[in-house]
Amino acid sequence: MSTLLLAAVATLVFCAPGYPGGAGDAQPFVDQFATATAAMAGWPAGSLTAVYDPTEKGGLAKLGNADAELAFVPYPFFVQYAAKLHLTPLAQAQVIDVGSQERWTLVGKAGAVPPSPASLSGYTLLSVAGYAPDFVRRAALGHWPLPPDVKIEATGQILSALRRIAAGEQVLALLDQTQATALPSLPFAAGLQTLTQSPALPVALVTVVGGRLSEPRARAVQAGLLKMGHAAGEADTLRQLRLQGFMLPQIPAQPATP
């Protein structure tokens, strides 16, 4: 019996590359979320566990494990790895102070004439989503195509990147909605300008990984997620992860890969 129960345990992998917080700090909150999700889905107690990883490499390693049946990932990660990992979206997160969608903002050095994409040849683009170049080029900036030689790099130090831009270095920054909202408060904000914004894009998704979860179990998880947040205890569990609730996924079409 214990062997059968062990085999039935699934893992939900939280992977949030580039955002602050260590795995140990987040673990109690993702544990509570897994417990609440299993209960809402009607799964037996203990049948869903969770693990958190704040790195791209670590998250990918954990998602490679056979028991990793579900993933909670930011949209840039989804765009970059959905095909490789066969990620099937179940629900779209509604994030406190952001919502279910956000616009990403491309920031450059302030000047008299806004530069065109072609004028940015040789620049380096820094972003918390820099680990996901497909997201940057196709989802966030598909309407404003960067030159092929623009280097895209990940950074968790976006304030440093913005200082470099204001100082006149050949650097761009792609900001998420929270970062962009804080931009006017910077003492050097006058040295920065918005070059373009993305369409409204999902913030984060819960997905099935690699078809490892049966369709009935996946439907149960989806139904449970859509009901979460309406009771006091569930709301507290979500709030600890900066969440308000979930909705059905709305995945925008992406431009074809060049």
Chain centroid offset of residue 109 CA: 26
Which two structure tokens, joined as six digits, stand for 147?
Answer: 């030159």
Distance CA 173, CA 153 (A): 10
Query: Rounded distance, CA 134 to CA 201, Å?
Result: 14
3 state DSSP class of 78: helix
Question: What is the structure's pLDDT at 24?
Answer: 60
In the chain, residues under CATH classification 3.40.190.10 are 2-99+202-247, 104-197
Query: Any alpha helices (H) in 167-214, and if so which ranges?
Result: 177-182
Architecture of domain 104-197: 3-Layer(aba) Sandwich (3.40)
- Give the rounded distance of the alpha carbon of 169 from its chain centre: 28
Q: Are 141 and 196 in contact (CB under 8 A)?
A: yes
pLDDT at 20: 60
User: Residue 185 — φ and ψ, nearest 5°?
Assistant: -80, -10
The span from the CA of 138 to the CA of 129, in Å, is: 13
Q: Are strands 151-154 and 124-127 parallel, antiparallel or unpaired?
A: parallel
Q: For the sheet containing 151-154, what is the strand order?
A: 151-154, 124-127, 171-175, 105-109, 192-197
Strand partners, 171: 124
Domain spanning 2-99+202-247: which superfamily?
Answer: Periplasmic binding protein-like II (3.40.190.10)
Please state, in angstroms and rounded to a whole number, the distance separating the CA atoms of residues 22 and 118: 39
User: Residue 144: its pLDDT value, please?
Assistant: 94
**pLDDT for 229:** 77
What pLDDT tens digit does each residue of the chain (258 aa) get? Answer: 333 343 479 999 999 897 765 556 788 999 999 999 999 999 999 999 999 999 999 999 999 999 999 999 999 999 999 999 999 999 999 999 999 999 999 999 998 556 789 999 999 999 999 999 999 999 999 999 999 999 999 998 999 999 999 999 999 999 999 999 999 999 999 999 999 999 999 999 999 999 999 999 999 999 999 999 776 677 888 988 999 999 999 999 866 554
CA-CA distance, 17 to 5, in Å (whole number)?
32
N- to C-terminal Cα separation, the chain: 52
Q: Which of 205, 176, 174 is nearest to 192 (CA)?
A: 174
